[in-house]
Amino acid sequence: MPDLLDRAAIRLDAVAADRDDAIRQCGHALEGVGAVDASYIDAMVERERSVPTYVGEGVAIPHGTLAGKDAVRHDAICVLRFPDGVDWDGHLVKLCVGIAAKGDGHVRLLSELAQILLDPDSARALRESANVDEVIRLLQPAAQEVPQ
C-alpha cells in the first residue's frame, strides 16, 4: 500500500480564486495520484455546500459525500497551501488537507490530523513551512498506513 500522503499531492504555493476553486484543486491533486476518479471532485464541492469543512486554525479539510465514496480508489490525503489565503465562508483558509477515504479509514485519519492541528506550534508550522519534507514529517502520524 502506498503512503496516504504522496509527495506529488503536496503544493505549498497554490493560488485559488475562491473556495470552490480551492476544493477542485484538492480534488485534482487526489486524482493526480490515482486516489480518486474525477467524479469525486464534484462530490467534494457538493459536500462543502451541505457541510462546510472549515475546522479552525486556518485549515479546511475538503472531502466527498458518502455517495462519492464509490469514486475513491484508495485512501489518500493531499496538502495544498494557499499563502494568500482563501475566503472560506468568512474564514481565511491557508491550508487545505483534502481527504479521500473508503470505509472507516477517515475516522482515524481525521483524528490524527486533528490532534496535530490542536498543537498550535504544529499547526503554525504546517501553515508556514517552506519545505515539503517538513510538511510530510509534521503529518507523519496521520500519513502512516495502518495494517488493514
Partner 1 sequence: MSTRTVAIASRTGLHARPAALFVKAAADQDVPVRIRVGDGPAVPAASMLAVLSLGAGHGTEVTLEADGPGADAALDSLAALLARDLDAEEAADA
Of 125, 122, 126, 118, the C-alpha closest to 77 is 126
Using CA atoms, how far residue 118 sits from 4, 58, 59, 111, in Å, is 21, 12, 11, 10
Q: What share of the chain is helix, strand, coil (3-state, %, to 5)?
A: 45, 25, 30
Grid cell locating 124:
503554525
Grid cell locating 32:
493526480
Alpha-carbon distance of 12 to 131, in angstroms, equals: 8
Alpha-carbon distance of 68 to 87, in angstroms, equals: 25
63 catalytic per annotation: yes
Q: How far is the CB of 57 from partner 1 (least distance, A)?
A: 7
Pick from 15, 38, 118, 146 the residue near partner 1 by CB under 8 A: 118
Pick from 117, 126, 139, 143 the residue near partner 1 by CB under 8 A: 117
Q: How far is the CB of 131 from partner 1 (least distance, A)?
A: 24
| Contact flag: residue 67 with partner 1 (CB under 8 A) | yes
> Which parts of 1-40 interact with partner 1 (CB under 8 A)?
none
Pick from 53, 75, 97, 142 the residue near partner 1 by CB under 8 A: 53
Binding mask 76-115 for partner 1 (x = CB under 8 A): ----------------------------x-xxx-xxxxxx
Pick from 1, 17, 50, 90 the residue near partner 1 by CB under 8 A: 50
Angle at which helices 19-32 and 39-50 cross, to 10°: 140
| Contact flag: residue 57 with partner 1 (CB under 8 A) | yes
Would you name the residues annotated as active-site residues?
63
Task: Give the interface with partner 1 as residue ranges (CB under 8 A).
Answer: 47, 50-57, 63, 65-67, 104, 106-108, 110-115, 117-118
